[in-house]
A and B are shown apart, each in its own frame.
Chain A
Amino acid sequence: MEHAIEKSAVGAAMTLEYDIEQDDFSRAGEASSKIKKLLKQLGIDSGIIRRIAIASYEAEINVVIHSNGGKITVFVKSDCIEVFVEDEGPGIENVEMAMTEGFSTATSAIRELGFGAGMGLPNMKRCSDNFFIESKLGESTRLKMVWSI
């Protein structure tokens, strides 16, 4: 299947990969926490780290709440950091609506847990320097976020 979003490890001085399980609330946030810890050790500017942390946290939660499970991959390249999030479906019916603030497809059970405010994707876009999303109903959702360092 042809994808418009390019995921390439070329030029990556370091690659991190984390598997995220559907509905695993007890571990939700662990991957983004590990990413943040590692980036701090690299001495990357704390403002950039904070934005990466927020964006990857939102992405991770989305995978837990809305998808059938997925993977977060981080490439640390010489002039940028790329974060890829890819899941195993079910796909987003209307990506433009999903990117609107306040729009959420979360069930009431999810909302009761405090999630599903409809700010995840807009937050991710706002926190990243470059944001790309690709999804169709019945297919996987693919995200790419880039930060210049």
Chain B
Amino acid sequence: MKEYWHSVILEKDFCNGCTYCLDRCPTQAIRVKDGKAQIINERCIDCGECLKVCPFHAKGAQTDSLEMLNNYKFNIALPAISLYGQFEFDYDMNTIMNGLYELGFDYVYDVAYAADILTAYQLDKIKESQRPKPLISTYCPAVTRLIQIRYPSLIDHIIRLESPMQVSAWMAKQKIMETTGLASEDIGVFYITQCPAKITSIKNPIGIEDSHINGAISIETIYSKLIRIYNDIEVKTQIQKASAGGIVWGMVGGQSFAMGIENYMAVDGIEEVIKVLDRLEMGKLSDVDFLEAYACVTGCVGGPLNVENPFIAKTRIRMRSKQTPRIDDLDSLKVYDKSLIEWDQDIKPFPVLKLDTDIRKALEKMSKIEELFQSLPGIDCGACGAPTCRALAEDIVLGKADIKSCLVKNNSEDK
């Protein structure tokens, strides 16, 4: 994480300083100060839980508007695979994707086809692997960041392959540069996104220097526009190229289905992912070949910037996949340069949960935290603005909060 840039933002006017997001954040990255929620940048993994849970719609993701297309001579759209689950069955996906031309795009690349390509390379990695098992997919950026922060000893398990979004960006941009002769700066590449984690990985990629994607437009933005113009969409090109395997990457279990492997685990929901990663750290599950983990329940169709209910979308993905042929010979897809497909940078740990870089000082702080914690009520009410009494004790010792913040303690002392 270069400068801890996050796509998750707070709309201060709507925030009423309640405890919903405070409680739900899996990395305890939220504090309420002066009646408004604040995100601790180093701890945020962009999982979007706070977006999903805020009853006042005070949390959002920084997305770009279609106006941004005006900055470029040529615009490429990369629709998230979740798009396959957003529309009812009567809608033809190829037509929907052609609808993006009407919205101002000049070229559309089927990201699910990039998933087909990655399936072939990922299967190889699993077969040839000398790395510790299970191998962990990087598809969900929030899970990758969670591992960097909380489970650095599992970094070796991570498969260093780019995401379908990334591979699509490379392929599409290269093709357009070749066919039009336009310079890189004149081409706008936009990901039609289902979640904040993906947006952050565009502006702040892991494993590569530059994402080559210029903007992220949420599925919410284009959904109603596409439905309205659907009957008038002119189908200019065959955009849909994905096989059954590529389409199911939109749901939990999809990657394993695409690879045709049996010895895998598929976990969805950030709390459940945390429980499984805890077990992995203990040395359990080492006879499983592959783990695909998603911060959102149901997988990417569960991302907060989707429109449709995640379970309905998941069923549609499954059914659309069934109606599409599978690729028999995955090897035929492995025709690309490894540099296009693999990450070239190391995944670094981010030990932001450490109390101090010096163990002795960390021990001192920990004793103080322990002592302070014993003097607090222990009911995790959140009134102080920290999610738990323990978190408050830590904040106090680290100089970020005051013992006076504990209203419960203050009240009982007044008596």
Contact = CB atoms under 8 A, between A and B. Distances in A.
A50 B153 contact: yes
B353 interface: yes
B356 interface: yes
Contact of A42 (B278, B282, B366): B366
Given A41-B354, A47-B153, A57 B363 contact: no
Nearest to B364: A13
Interface of A: 13-14, 29, 32-33, 36, 38, 40-44, 46-47, 49-50, 53-54, 57, 76, 78, 123, 149
Interface string B114-148: 00000000000000000000000000000000000
A46 B367 CA distance: 21
8 contacts: A13-B367, A40-B354, A42-B354, A43-B354, A43-B355, A43-B357, A46-B153, A50-B281
Contacts of A47: 153
B152 interface: yes
* Interface of B: prevailing SS: helix
A41 B353 contact: yes
A14 B366 contact: yes
B356 A53 contact: no
A32 B282 contact: yes
B79 to A, nearest CB: 38
Contacts of A149: 359
Interface residues of B, number: 23
B349 interface: yes
A29 B367 CA distance: 24
Contacts of B367: 13-14
Contacts of A76: 363
A149 B355 CA distance: 17
A76 B359 CA distance: 10
Interface of B: 150, 152-153, 278, 281-283, 349, 351, 353-360, 362-364, 366-367, 370
A53 B366 contact: no
Contacts of B360: 13, 78
7 nearest A-B residue pairs (beta carbon): A43-B354, A46-B153, A13-B363, A42-B362, A54-B283, A50-B153, A57-B282
Given A13-B367, A14-B367, A38-B366, A43 B359 contact: yes
A33 B1 CA distance: 27
A36 B282 CA distance: 10
A50 B281 CA distance: 6
B353 A40 contact: yes
Nearest to B357: A43
A5 B281 CA distance: 29
A67 B399 CA distance: 44
B102 to A, nearest CB: 51
A59 to B, nearest CB: 12
A43 B282 contact: no
